[in-house]
Structure formats: C-alpha cells, structure tokens
Amino acid sequence: MGIRGAETTTSIIEPYWKGDKTDELEYIVELMQYAEAQQYAEDGDLQKAVALNSFLQEYDNSDLKPYAQFALGISQGGMGDIPASKETLQTFVDDNPKHPLVADVKQVIAEL
C-alpha cells in the first residue's frame, strides 16, 4: 500500500543550521583568509604560513582560532623558532583545554 503524491523527488523542506553564517560576507572573507594561510602551512611554505599570526590578530574571536593556533605553532617549529612554537601551542592548550586536538598539541610540545 502506498501514498499517492509521494512520487516527487523534491521537497519544500530546506535544511537549516542554527548559527549558519555561509551567506554572511564577513564570514566568507574570514574563511578565505584562514584557508589561504592554512594552505601555505599544508604546502610547506612556512614563511608564508606565519600569515596565520595575522589571521589570529584580526579574528581573535573566530571559531577557527584553535586550528590557526595549531597550524601556526607547527609552522613556527618547522622554521626552527622553537620558543615561539612552544608559546603558541601552549596558548592553544590554555585557551582550549577541552579541544579534541589538545592531546596532539601536548605531544608536539613535548617533542619540541
């Protein structure tokens, strides 16, 4: 037994996420700046990856801040600036004690 009218593949229901910012220009710009700096880190261009520091200064309250701190700390360590790397990574731990990456960050600090 079926229900007539259920043949349609479209729906008038559109998903909604509380706090969705994907249509906000400011958020898009923030995300693009983070992605650019993060890409430098992933590409191994550590000199340019320190742009994450600028991102952190400009977007101090960003949801992306912990990830930027982590990538910046790794980049600083990769460039041989161990004191700056440890400081950045320790700030990550202090600011985000329950973040899923805390154990990884503590391990990196211990290995520096």
Going by C-alpha positions, the residue among 44, 42, 71 that lies closest to residue 54 is: 71
Q: How many whole angstroms separate alpha carbon 56 and alpha carbon 44? A: 19
Output the pLDDT for position 21. Answer: 64
4-52 pLDDT per residue, tens:
555 555 555 554 445 666 677 888 888 888 888 888 888 988 888 878 8
**How large is the average pLDDT for residues 59-74?**
92
CATH architecture of the region 25-111: Alpha Horseshoe (1.25)
Mean pLDDT of the chain: 83
User: Are 85 and 74 in contact, with CB atoms under 8 Å apart?
Assistant: yes
Output the pLDDT for position 17. Answer: 47
Output the pLDDT for position 10. Answer: 53
Distances (CA, A) of 50 to 20, 31, 110: 29, 16, 22
Look up the pTM and report it. 0.74
Torsion, Cα 24 73 45 21, to 10 degrees, reads -10
